[in-house]
């Protein structure tokens, strides 16, 4: 079972859902810092940070991770969102020396996940540095340059390798020859739910406000002005939002995305993702979604058509109990 390999040892998978925008020009750092929610000016090459892109009304338009290099800033984001995100950015390049380029066709990636995820790389002759989350380094393998990223990993270690398509194809073949299991899409989705990581377009839509997503790692509250900052600061000054992102253990039917949550016959939230997850200790039904804070505060009984839901802390403790 590939999910067991993810949780207990190591597994790999191609990265097919992410792409890259290259930002160049002498004004790139100042300009980008005014477009996103985190502090780009504090980064140096080898560091990264997670960001939201907001509308003037503070609604989330995209998410991305920014990685500066010596002569550019590379933005990792949802591959399907790159045309719309580039168009949005273009509208705010006025007199700035900034250029945007979609470099996704030149890059391919794979991810290694699990407590022993680094071991296959060492066995293949790659020697990545010990990195903190969202730090990156350049390593060489078979004469090719490979970008190594310690990816966001709230539950178990997760790493990304990016290079030219030929090199990534060779790395993939080497991992297969070493009998490292490849994770299926369902396994990666189950891990995402266990981690409690919201996915843009599924759990994060353009109606969400940043603090509602519980992803405070995307926000910097003293960096200066940026698009949508007024709304973020207004929410911060008031101390909380009325609804928050949460995980739910489900009993009953497995609900589709969009299923409403109720308490005392009143609507209190919605489910955005759900799956039946086969853990070694037994299957669980887990969902992600949004719920009004007052329903959490008074520990109300939460129901949905076909079952009941219990709010749980994220990452899900059921996955942490698996032996490494």
Antiparallel, parallel or unpaired: β 108-113 and 11-15? antiparallel
Distance between CA atoms of residues 91 and 315, nearest Å: 38
Q: What are phi and psi of 232, to 5 degrees?
A: -60, -45
Spatial neighbors of 219 by CB under 8 A, at least 6 apart, are: 37, 38, 52, 210, 211, 232
Q: Give all strands of the β-sheet with 108-113 in edge-to-edge order.
A: 11-15, 108-113, 158-163, 144-150, 136-141
Please classify residue 298 by burial: count the beta carbons closer than 10 Å to its beta carbon, then call 0-12 exposed, 13-18 middle and 19+ buried: exposed
CB atoms within 10 A of CB 17: 14
Compute the chain's Rg from CA coordinates. Answer: 20
Q: Is 189 annotated as a binding residue?
A: no
CA distances from 70 to 23, 106, 137, 159 (A): 12, 19, 13, 22
Query: Which residues belong to the annotated binding site for substrate?
Result: 160
Which residue positions form the known binding site? 160
């Amino acid at each position: 079972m590939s999910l067991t390999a993810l949780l207990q040892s190591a597994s790999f998978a191609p990265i097919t859902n992410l792409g890259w925008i290259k930002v160049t020009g002498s004004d790139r750092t100042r300009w980008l810092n005014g477009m996103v929610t985190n502090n780009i000016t504090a980064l140096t090459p080898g560091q990264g940070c997670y960001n939201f892109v907001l509308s003037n009304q503070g609604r989330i338009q995209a998410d991305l991770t920014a990685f500066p290099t010596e002569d550019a800033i590379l933005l990792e984001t949802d591959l399907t969102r790159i045309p719309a995100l580039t168009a949005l950015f273009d509208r705010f390049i006025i007199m700035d020396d900034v250029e945007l380029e979609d470099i996704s066709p030149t890059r391919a990636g794979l991810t290694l996940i699990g407590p022993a995820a680094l071991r296959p790389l060492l066995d293949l002759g790659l020697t990545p540095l010990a990195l903190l989350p969202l730090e990156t380094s350049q390593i060489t393998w078979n004469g090719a340059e490979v970008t190594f990223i310690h990816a966001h990993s709230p539950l178990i270690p997760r790493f990304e390798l990016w290079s030219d398509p030929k090199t990534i194809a060779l790395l993939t073949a080497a991992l297969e020859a070493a009998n490292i299991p490849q994770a299926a899409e369902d396994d990666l989705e189950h891990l995402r739910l266990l981690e409690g990581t919201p996915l843009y377009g599924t759990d994060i839509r353009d109606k969400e406000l940043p603090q509602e997503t519980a992803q405070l790692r995307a926000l910097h509250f003293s960096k200066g002005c940026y698009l949508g900052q007024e709304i973020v600061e207004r929410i911060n000054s008031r101390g909380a939002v009325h609804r928050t992102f949460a995980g739910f253990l489900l009993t009953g039917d497995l609900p589709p995305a969009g299923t409403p949550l109720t308490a005392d016959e009143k609507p209190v939230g919605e489910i955005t993702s759900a799956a039946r997850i086969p853990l070694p200790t037994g299957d669980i039904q887990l969902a992600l979604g949004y719920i009004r804070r007052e329903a959490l505060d008074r520990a109300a009984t939460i129901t949905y058509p076909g079952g009941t839901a219990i709010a749980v802390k994220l990452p899900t403790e059921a996955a942490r109990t698996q032996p490494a």
